Each structure stands twice: as C-alpha cells, then as structure tokens.
Structure 1
Amino acid sequence: MVAQLIKNQTNLYDTDYNLWVLDTVKKLENRDLDTLDWDNLIEEVLDLSKRDKRKLESLLIKLIEHLLILGYWQSEKERNRGHWQKEIINFRKQIKRLLEDSPSLKNHLKTRLDRCYQDGREIASQHSLLSLNTFPEEPIAPLEQILDENWLP
C-alpha cells in the first residue's frame, strides 16, 4: 500500500502528509530530483516563511497586549504586575529567538507593527474590560523599544 501511495505523489501529499515528507526527504538525500513532487515541495517551503511570520506577529500582538495592560490597567496593576511582566519577558524571548534564526523577519515586523498594535490594543481592551479609548491609537513605542528587554511602559 505504501509503495502504491508513493507512486502517486499528489495523492500521497493529500492522503498521508507525513509519508510524503519522509519520501521527499529520502528523494532529496538521494538527489532523485526527477521524481520529486515539485509543486507541493515549493508550496511547503514558501509556507515555512509564512508560518514564522504568523508566529512572530502573534507573539508581537501578545507582547503589545501585555505592555498596554501593564501601562494602563491601573486598578489591577499591583495585583497582576508580576504575571504581566513574566509574560512580557516570555514573549520578548520567543521573538528574539525567532529573529536570531531569521534576522530578515525583523523588517516584516516593522511593516506589520501598526496592524499588530491595533490587534494588541483591541485584545487589551477586551482583556481588561477597559474602553478601547483608554489605550493610545498610535503605538506606544517604536518596535526596537517594544522589543527592548529593559523597557516597560
């Protein structure tokens, strides 16, 4: 059955993704370029970049959310400061690791800062039940400062 699935690469990609990956790796190792499923391989390689971009954006949104609630949710600040700061440190470290692996993605974050900020602002408003107007419409800091481990609002 496995041999039959391997014969039809497109079907293998659609029916058993893990087996398709293992078969593709084997073909790459053997330099068997003529039988590779090029269309799906190209799609998967492109998707690797998209996944990292989505993950970075998600982490930046969470970081911004926590920076905003730390800076503006005064009634809960003393009780939750430690938790929020821990989350801020965690998100910054995850972003830092991803950017160490792919430094060029920092440019992507710069271009997406405004959108990520607006998403983080909306989530902070929902999280805190504070009015959206409580939080500034424009980013509270440039990206470099938001990512700076020594900066808090």
Structure 2
Amino acid sequence: MVAQLIKNQTNLYDTDYNLWILETVKKLENKDFNSVDWDNLIEEVLDLSKRDKRKLESLLIKLIEHLLILGYWQSEKERNKGHWEREILNFQQQIIRELEDSPSLKNHLKNKFLDCYQKGCKLASKHSQLPLNTFPENPIAPLEQILDENWLP
C-alpha cells in the first residue's frame, strides 16, 4: 500500500507538476505528513535556492554588460546613454530587491562576481561589436560600487 502511494505521488510529480504542488500543499496544510512526497518536495525546495542564485547571476551579468557598453561604446553613447542608464538602474534595483529578500545570497554574488564579469564582457563585446580586449580583464569596480544606484562608469 505504501509503495503504491509513493509510486502514485511520483507519477503525479512526473505527469502533472501543478497538481502535484496543489496536492502537496493540501497535505502540508492538513498536516498529513505521512503521505507527502518528501523526496520530490526536498528537491523542489533546494531548486528554489538554485533558481534565485541563477536569477541573481543573470541580472548581474546584464548589469555588467550595460555598464561596459555605457563606459566603452563611445560611438553609440550619445544616442543610447539614456536607455543604457535606465537598464543599469533597472538591473541594480532588481538585484537589490532580491538581496533584501535573501541577504545571504550576497556571498554567492561575491563568489561569482569575476565569472559574471567575464560573461558580461562577452555579451558587451557581442552587443557592441567591439573586440573583447576593449574591456578590462579585471572588473571595472567592486561589486558594492556596481550595485550602487548613484555610480556610473
């Protein structure tokens, strides 16, 4: 009986994810802990952290891309400066909002900063068609400064 229940939960997880979530929430609300699909629930909770980390990395990469474009793509600066500055502020605000919800993720961003910077350089190069070596090999500013809404290169 227990084996069949676990099999049905796993099948529901694999066949109708949304229904699995609704059923899991219902079981948790009813404190029906014995019938909760714990393995998949644990996996999903861990994945929430991974998603937040990936989201922050993606936002930081886009922020760096736009900071580099603003600082180094001189031929387009006058025409696009306002757009780039708006995008920079938008990415900064999104990152700050995420870090306010989960301050411990700031350490993750610090650890991934150089990797994000290098990816941002590649995107800036592709976007601007400037050679990759146009952009400094090392970050143009520390993470704290890059996240400062009052700072621009």
Q: Partner residue of 2:68?
A: 68
1:1-153 to structure 2, matched below 5 A, reads 8-153=8-153
Q: Distance in 1 between matches of 2:148 and 2:99?
A: 13
- For the Cα contact (< 8 Å) 2:121–2:132, is it kept in 1? yes
Q: How many residues align?
A: 149
Matches of 1:80 and 1:129, distance apart in 2: 15
Amino acid at match of 2:8: N
Aligned partner letter, 2:117: Y
Let me know the Cα RMSD of the aligned residues: 1.3
CA contact (8 A) 2:6 2:37 kept: no
Runs (4 or more) in structure 1 with deviation over 3 Å come to none
| Mapped partners of 2:30, 2:149: distance in 1 | 45
Secondary structure of the corresponding residue to residue 149 of structure 2: coil
3-state SS, counterpart of residue 141 of structure 2: coil
Unaligned runs of 5+ in 1: none
In 1, Cα distance between equivalents of 2:119 and 2:98: 21
Extract unaligned runs of 5+ from structure 2. none
Alignment TM-score, normalising by the size of structure 2 = 0.95
Identity percentage of aligned residues: 81
- Give the conservation status (yes or no) of the 8 Å contact 1:6–1:20: no
